[in-house]
A and B are shown apart, each in its own frame.
Chain A
Amino acid sequence: MASNLKRLYRLILTVITLSTGVIVLLSFVIQSETLRLLRSVFVEWTIIVVAFALLLGILNVLRVHGQRIQRGQGVVFSLILILAFLTVFVPGILSPGSVPSRFSGLAGPTGSIASFAYQYVQRPLQATFFSLMAFFVLTAAWRAFRIRSAASFIMLVAAVVVLLGSIKLNIGVDWRLFTEARNWVMNVPAMAGARGILLGIVLGTLVAGLRLLLGIDRPYSD
């Protein structure tokens, strides 16, 4: 009985996925107003589901950091995270009309608290982390260029050629050789390799996407 129910459940899931997938796929190919309308209805439903998923995600973040505080593991950072979340979230969900008029500028998703947090906290922090990337690249390059195999030797030679060729020095014909060698490395072997990888990724994405869309691959059921 239980296995029959399980089979039925699996069948229903597959039918829903398959029909939704086929409708969405055909709506891009066949010029039909009905298919286009159905697609926009599915998109609306997805947005509603995403909103609920986001709420569950917020609860997950709070639970994980609540547990950390209980265990005494990274307490300060977890407290800062929860306080920062409450500071932005609570005024953000209040509508400006529901608070006394002198606080109305603070409330709402575009209120001054949310804008301040985005403009003066989140954006500078993001920029800071991306600027640290240069140092991370340096340490990664140092590790990669240690000659351990023929491949890392080729990588080192190519990197040296590209580095020398990228330095804009106008000191004669000999230096131009480095610039030309750099252009050749970038435009021929590097470009060929990157395009080969890209084509493989596109084909992989295409086949995996179709498998999902048509219910052949079902990560949502056994």
Chain B
Amino acid sequence: MWPSQTEPVAALLLVVLILLLLGWFTRRAQKTTGFPFRPIAAFQALQGLLGRTAESGQKVHLSMGSSGLGDEQTAAASAGLTVLRYMAEQGASFGYSPIVTVADPMLMLMAQDTLYRAYQRTGLAASYRSTDVRLIAPDPAAYAVGAQEEINQDKVAANVMAGHFGDEYLLLGEAGAQREIIQIVGSNTVEVQPLMMATSDRVLVGEELFAAGAYLTRRPEHMASLHVQDALRVLLVIAIVVAVAIKTFG
């Protein structure tokens, strides 16, 4: 069960380090008026998107990919929920919501709850429709085909994709690209990044998906987690350089 005690202890130390850094950066973020962020085209395109599409009477499709809750894709699903919360709050004020497609029933419930709470906060809970969040299929290929149908059937004006996507991304990405609609995409899969570049102009590269909370909500703990990631990255780079130097000269 526990083959070696070194690895778990190292993992625990890493967790403690991250928590200490999170606490410190969160306190700093609460005191400061705002950290400067480099602009990311995908997040800029999301701002006001629902308002613009509502005026034209068209829908926005949000795909949360094959992310699920309770597996290794939970973090990607959580990032997708952050994007949904932002879009739902934008649209709920005028009784307009995105069409959300998911592949996981647990995520469906969370997405419905997020949408409902956005309507509730604006005092329009009666306008909420649970069928705006649609479970397509748990299988990634079946999900992509079903969600592709949603993009074509509902004549959406924009396609936002945030979550975990495998190769099936191409079925969805191409559907949007061929219709020349606005596409904003982000995934936690390395292999899909070139496919995203090929089908969309607004791509969240790699960990930028996890920056959604900091960019869209500006909450201190989300901004702090961006700084923690940067600090860990610097530590990692130093470790790699030291290791290479030891290997080369040692």
Contact = CB atoms under 8 A, between A and B. Distances in A.
A40 interface: no
A196 B5 CA distance: 29
Contacts of B170: 133, 136-137, 140
Contact of A197 (B79, B178, B193, B211): B193
A43 B220 CA distance: 32
B250 to A, nearest CB: 23
B159 interface: no
A208 B206 contact: no
Interface in A164-222: 194, 196-201, 203-212, 214, 216-217, 219-220, 222
A57 interface: yes
Interface residues of A, number: 58
A76 B178 CA distance: 25
Contacts of B11: 28-29
A56 B233 CA distance: 41
B145 to A, nearest CB: 6
Contact of A222 (B121, B190, B197): B121
A198 B206 CA distance: 7
Contacts of A36: 1
A213 B178 CA distance: 40
A119 interface: no
Interface string A119-158: 0001000100110110011011101100000000001000
Contacts of B106: 49-50, 53
A77 B145 CA distance: 13
Interface of B: 1-2, 5, 8-9, 11-12, 14-15, 18-19, 22, 70, 74-76, 78-79, 81-82, 85, 105-106, 108-110, 113-114, 117, 121, 130-131, 133-136, 139, 141-142, 144-145, 149, 153, 167, 170-171, 173-174, 177-178, 188, 190, 193, 195, 197-199, 205-207, 209-211, 213, 221-222, 225, 228-229, 232-233, 236
Q: Sorted from nearest, which 8 A-B pairs have the closest CB atoms?
A: A204-B210, A57-B105, A204-B207, A200-B207, A144-B198, A197-B206, A53-B105, A140-B198
